[in-house]
Amino acid sequence: MVEARAGEPAARLGAAIELSRELTDLGDSLIGRFVADARAAGLSWTEIGRLFGTSKQAVQQRYGPSTAQAGDWPGRWTPDVRRVLDAAGREARALGHDYIGTEHVLLALAGANGGGAATVLGDLSVARDRILATSCMRGGPGGVSQACLPLMPRLKRALEHSRHIADGLDTRLADTEHLLAGIVAVPDSMAVEILRRLGVGPSQVNAALADRMGVTPDRLGARRRRRRRLLAPSR
């Protein structure tokens, strides 16, 4: 597949990196699907954690029941953020994807309901059509029938970062700017890869957000924490 996509060594390497991320996303989706099946069959989180070689708390946090349907977003979010997250679900379905990832939220943030984050992205020339034009946004097989779509692990991390960033700024309701800062705080997310392909790095996004919010960029970074190692890569 790499050789079919590119011919020169540098281009092949770029294609290999791209493909590896696509395979990581597919792996996350695959594992999440069968974790859900195992739970439905009666396996406990302790048993599932044992298969991963980690604690039940670690595996439950990453692959626990975190699905979304319109209007159902627990946490302290502004109405704009809730609209963006609802829109991300619609974007995922329109693309034929049976999950919601950081790329779908980025796409929604660049849309009409993106609030302050949309302004920041627009100033950085990150537009909806340009996001869709990247190869990261290839359509799926379609026919998504689930009422609730699972959230990918990297999106869970981004939402967690968003809340920590808002709390650190003494903001009760996290807004779209905090959501965008939380997304770019996950360096291996698909959204960050899309931004890089559009010529925009996380530091540029943070600088633009900080300028808009009247804070220093370091206040928009992710809180450092110890991470457990799982068999599956995070998303």
How does pLDDT run across 38-96, given as a tens digit for each residue?
A: 877 888 888 888 888 888 777 766 676 555 554 567 788 999 999 999 999 999 989 98
Does residue 70 share a domain with residue 49? no
Q: In this structure, is residue 233 part of a structural domain? A: no
Q: What is the mean pLDDT of the chain?
A: 83
Q: Is the same domain home to 114 and 148?
A: yes
Mean pLDDT of 177-190: 94
Backbone angles phi, psi at 156, to 5 degrees: -60, -45
Query: 14 vs 121, which has greater pLDDT?
Result: 121
String of DSSP letters for 143-180: ----SSEEBPHHHHHHHHHHHHHHHHTT-SSB-HHHHH
> Count of domains in the chain?
2
What pLDDT score was predicted for residue 5? 74
So what's the pLDDT on residue 70?
A: 47
105 and 126 belong to one structural domain: yes
CA distance 135 to 196: 13
Within 10 A of 95 (CB to CB), how many other CB atoms are there? 17
Shared domain for 197 and 107, answered yes or no, is yes
The Cα 216–Cα 219 span in angstroms is: 6
Task: Note whether 92 and 136 are same-domain residues.
Answer: yes
In this prediction, residues 21-31 reach a mean pLDDT of 71
Tell me: the pLDDT tens digits for 190-235? 999 999 999 999 999 999 999 999 999 999 986 655 444 444 544 4
Same domain, 137 and 206: yes
Q: Is the pTM of this model over 0.75?
A: no
CA distances in angstroms from 183 to 37, 193, 198, listed in the order given: 28, 11, 16
Same domain as 84, residue 48: no
Whether 175 has a pLDDT exceeding 80, the answer reads yes
CA-based R_g, the chain, Å: 18
The strand ranges marked E within 34-186 are 67-68, 149-150
pLDDT at residue 105 greater than cutoff 60: yes
What is the residue range of 109's domain? 66-228
**Pick from 108, 62, 64: nearest CA to 83:** 108
Based on the fold, state whether residues 203 and 222 are members of the same structural domain: yes
